[in-house]
Every structure is written in C-alpha cells, then in structure tokens.
Amino acid sequence: MVHISLGISKRILAILLVGIALTLLWSSRPMAGDTDEEIQDTILRQIEAFANNDQEQAWAYASEGIKRRFGSSQVFTDMVREAYPAVHSAKSIEFARRIPHGSFEIQVVKLRGPEGKRWEAYYRMVMMEGTWKIAGVRLEPADIGI
C-alpha cells in the first residue's frame, strides 16, 4: 500500500496546476513568425479596404479604443483620408521591423503616399479576442538617405 503525505500531494497538485496554466498561456500566444504575418496581414487588409473605399472593412481592423474615439466608420475614414493620406491612398507598402512593446506591438511600415513622398508609419497593434487590431498610427517622413 502506497501512502502519500497530504502536504506533498498538495504541493504536487499546485505544481501541476501551475504547469497546466503556463502551458495554456503559452499555447494561446501566437508564435513570433505567426505574429509577424498576422500583424502585417491586418495592416495590409486595412490599407486594401481604404483603397477599395470599403469603410466598414477598414473599420473592422480598428481597435475598440479607436472605435470609441471616432464613433463610426464614416468619421474614422474621413479622418484617415484627411490626416493620413499616405495610409489612406498608399502607392507602395514595405514592412520593416516589428518592435515588441509589452502589451502591444509596433510594426514599422514604409509607405509611399499619393504624391510620391516616402513615409515611415509606426502602427500600434493590440491583441483583442485573439486577433490583432490597429490601435493607432504615427507617420514620419522617411529618411531618404544618400
């Protein structure tokens, strides 16, 4: 007959539960390569939606914070058209580096705007209900170099 002390079995159970929790947490996070592809796909699909004048589809890739701030796809699209023409009417897109930033990610995207000017767009990406959403964009003129 095997006899296990109650103190030891509680410790083993606690270790097993922590192990299971860590396994579940690990498996729910996308792998690095998957994250790159998923983030880039989200950005590309929103830019394509703008190009196709599909306000609702572009709106679908916005985070809840953006949706609360602008209230409707029309207001959001009008803002992007006016303030971010390089995003709204991009002529070329190149994905650069991704920067992990704790609870969100920054994806750097090189854009050529409608007038041919080059930009670096810093997309703030957040995970919401298992999908990446765009929580903001900062545009800066690109360094053209020599």
Q: Where are the domains of the chain?
A: 30-141
Q: What is the dihedral of CA 134, 138, 144, 145, to 10 degrees?
A: -100
32 pLDDT above the threshold of 90: no
Count CB neighbours of 137 within 10 A. 21
143 pLDDT above the threshold of 70: yes
pTM recorded for the entire structure: 0.75
* pLDDT more than 90, % of the chain: 70
- Residue 35 binned pLDDT confidence (cut-offs 50, 70, 90): confident
- Write down the pLDDT at residue 25: 44
Count CB neighbours of 45 within 10 A. 15
- Write down the pLDDT at residue 124: 98
Provide φ and ψ at 142, rounded to 5°. Answer: -75, 145
28 pLDDT above the threshold of 50: no
CATH number for region 30-141: 3.10.450.50
| Average pLDDT of span 22-37 | 56
DSSP state of 31: P
Count CB neighbours of 49 within 10 A. 19
